[in-house]
Chain A
Amino acid sequence: MSAEVGSGAPGPLVEMTDIDKSFPGVRALAKARFELLPGEVHALMGENGAGKSTLMKILSGVYSRDGGTVLLNGQPVEITSPRQAQDLGIGIIHQELALMRDLTAAQNIFIGREPRRFGILDEGRLNRDAAAIFASMNLRLDPTFKVETLTIAKQQMVEIAKALSYRSRVLIMDEPTAALNDAEIAELFAIINRLKAEGVGIVYISHKMDEIKRIADRVTIMRDGEYVGTVRAADTPIETIISMMVGRTLSAETLAIPNTAAAPVALEVKNLNRGREIRDVSFSVRRGEILGFAGLMGAGRTEVARAIFGADRRESGEVWVHGKRVGIASPKDAVAAGIGYLSEDRKHFGLAIGLDVRNNIALASLPRFTGPGGVLDEAGMQKEAVAYIRTLAIKTPSDTQEARLLSGGNQQKVVIAKWLLRDCDILIFDEPTRGIDVGAKSEIYKLLNGLAAEGKAIIVISSELPEVLRLSHRIAVMCEGRLTGILPGGASQEEIMRLATLREPAMQVRHAG
């Protein structure tokens, strides 16, 4: 399965060998390898946490490596800063949009390289140069618009334009299509083919199999920070690539989905609205049901969850819990109604990372543990915490361990325990396995299935289609703030993607805002 470089072909642009990298408590890369030829599109694949982004951040100077060698055009290099990577001709489109929202599109593209005349910024040239790049991308976008006023898709195109403007010899694209529709993806692929013809080497990180088949020449697969193998994209079946990614065959893990059609409705949302982020969203979840939410980045799924939970304001819409309408103005009201929200950003919103496991679990239920005179009942808290540590199999030396010292998967379980202790029977999970390693992932899945079997109503927002497909009884799909459809659990990826990119016709009225 290893790559053979055709005889007489030019030497590789990039050779990374035996790359090691550890973060506190996590081994991110172990003897990772990667090779990139000029004029090649080389896909880098693996599950979340496999180390793809880490490896590419080392190549682009964001992280420094702990061990191994990096050769650029056959010469060993030490890349210690993003600036140096740029000077060496290595450009990267980051997965998280790295844009300055208060600056215009053109100012973002040329940040750090502004054209100047006598020390004064040449704004005219800046805008002309940006317009020229947009034109070469067949992108109609005014370079003087502030980035914050652009849609997520347009912001992503600005990122791509920025990477192109460096005229890099090596271009790393980390999930560049996460927010793009089919037409925009086709445009991007046309650009990639043009760059290929010019001899640029392109590293393409994506979870989307069809894209890999369409655009990649070779595929390198990683798993748990290690190199698994490199194959030719054209003559390797998708099943083979997937089994290399997960290290086993997937078919064995199909879940038995219990029929929940008869169970009573636990949560019903009617005509939820807020500006252009949430537009007339209605749906319901039954007891014992897992409702998946799929969609591209910025489709409005998190916004819907936060609006239901009362974390953000909503303009109109009703929330019904167990057949009764509830007024939710703040998270306090939502929790009182039995709704728990598990944020995608556990460190910022889900956990008090400086507190211990016991206090985190008890945090939403403190009144229950408050005795006379306001003194907390530590013994009672400990009893409950220890019980949940056992039932959810949270790996922690004790209930007094600080939450920040736990792994991602166990932190997630602590948050789940918090809501269970608070008697929440409607749980909204926003990207429940983000930043959690592969082994812990399946444990979280098992836990979610168990909670549903107990009669909890569960909403799972996930950007990973396989995850949505694996967990959900039904799948709600969003695009640009609208709910474009609700599919049965066995829906095909193609059908979900179609709904996820089902945008409004361009000329429809959009005065509001």
Chain B
Amino acid sequence: MTDTAAPAVKTGPRISGAFHRLLAFSGLIALVVAFSLASPNFMQTQNILAILQATSVNGVLAIAATLVIITGGIDLSVGTLMTFCAVIAGVILTYWGLPMPLGILGAILAGTASGLVSGTVIAKLKVPPFIATLGMMLILKGLSLVISGTRPIYFNDTPGFNQIALGSVVGQVFPAVPVPNGVMILFAVALLAAFVLGKTALGRYTFALGSNEEAVRLSGVNVDRWKIGVYAMAGGIVGVAGVLIASRLNSAQPALGQGYELDAIAAVVIGGTSLSGGRGTILGTLIGALIISVLANGLRILSVAQEWQTVVTGCIIILAVYADILRRRTL
């Protein structure tokens, strides 16, 4: 069957796939260049660090959302789960007075447990991901308020807690570039997620599930178990975001959280991950999250009202997805 082989055509989608990733990246570069030209204040080290810092929480949430979206699912609970994890850390550290590592661990475990519940409801009870995680979103929001008695929990008794996100280990070594720890944590989570997606069985099944779940089942793979695994891992990552936001605010704010899931999903989509599943990258999501922060920061520097920033972000989301549709059409 060699003589009838159809040559060429194979490289097409690869090139355009790379092009699309390039598209988000060039969008980011274009934004940075435009804002630098528009305002001398933009391209300052302090401002760049502020942008990165502002990206850290949404970036971590978006990475969690990426994992779930590649399976063809959706997770609407990441925002309120983040708050729930922050509240759990508050309970462990402030109410119970336990050492800081236990608080961090508790937050991550709480996230993982919530992911396990979501994943189980989706895989075993066959509740659609949108509904299951919508339910979890409300459950977690309510639980956060109940546990905290609707009052913020402050971490004043845990010295150094705010240094988790705001301190800078890098700055101690290179005083010129005091990259905040929160940003380094974002990069670490991104590396971990990219590694899992690219190099482990869990990652392989994440893509496979989003591509053709029935085919995976027919291949004899325990679909339910892996699906639950993806949601659990995403939950654990949300736990990290919970620690980050609690550290940044030096408190767990139980009323916070709702709305964060939409920013996270926006970053994922701008980064080129398909909501229908099967394809997506962590790098793309990082770029997507950065685009949102750069936009917000740049427009603020140019004194554009916050209301308009929201309008622009909305336009960018639609444009990004339209670009993806154009790309697919050329397949």
> What is the interface of chain A, defined by CB distance below 8 A to chain B?
62, 81-86, 94, 98-103, 107, 111-112, 114, 116, 119-121, 123, 138-140, 142, 145-146, 148-149, 151, 157, 162, 181, 183-184, 187, 276, 313, 503, 506-507, 510-511, 513
Contacts and interface: CB of A to CB of B under 8 A. Distances in A.
B181 to A, nearest CB: 28
Interface residues of B, number: 36
Given A86-B220, A121-B199, A99 B3 contact: no
Contacts of A111: 204, 208, 215-216, 219, 221
Interface in B199-222: 199-201, 203-204, 207-208, 210-212, 214-222
Given A100-B208, A142-B10, A276-B9, 8 more contacts: A86-B220, A102-B279, A112-B216, A120-B199, A145-B10, A506-B5, A506-B6, A510-B6
Interface of B: 1-10, 12-14, 199-201, 203-204, 207-208, 210-212, 214-222, 278-279, 329, 331
Given A86-B220, A102-B278, A506 B3 contact: yes
A81 B222 CA distance: 10
Contacts of B215: 98-100, 111
B1 A140 contact: yes
Given A85-B220, A121-B199, A98 B214 contact: yes
A77 to B, nearest CB: 16
Contacts, number: 108
B12 A149 contact: yes
A510 B278 contact: no
B12 A82 contact: no
A510 B7 contact: yes
B219 A112 contact: yes
Contact of B1 (A101, A112, A157): A157
Nearest to A147: B211
17 contacts: A82-B218, A83-B220, A100-B278, A103-B207, A112-B216, A140-B2, A140-B5, A149-B12, A149-B13, A151-B6, A162-B219, A181-B1, A187-B1, A276-B9, A313-B329, A506-B4, A510-B8
Contacts of A85: 220
Nearest to A84: B220
Given A100-B207, A103-B207, A510-B9, A138 B2 contact: yes
A116 to B, nearest CB: 7
B6 A83 contact: no
A103 B277 CA distance: 12
A100 B6 CA distance: 21
Contacts of B279: 102
A121 B13 contact: no
A116 B6 contact: no
B204 A138 contact: no
A84 B3 CA distance: 39
B6 to A, nearest CB: 6
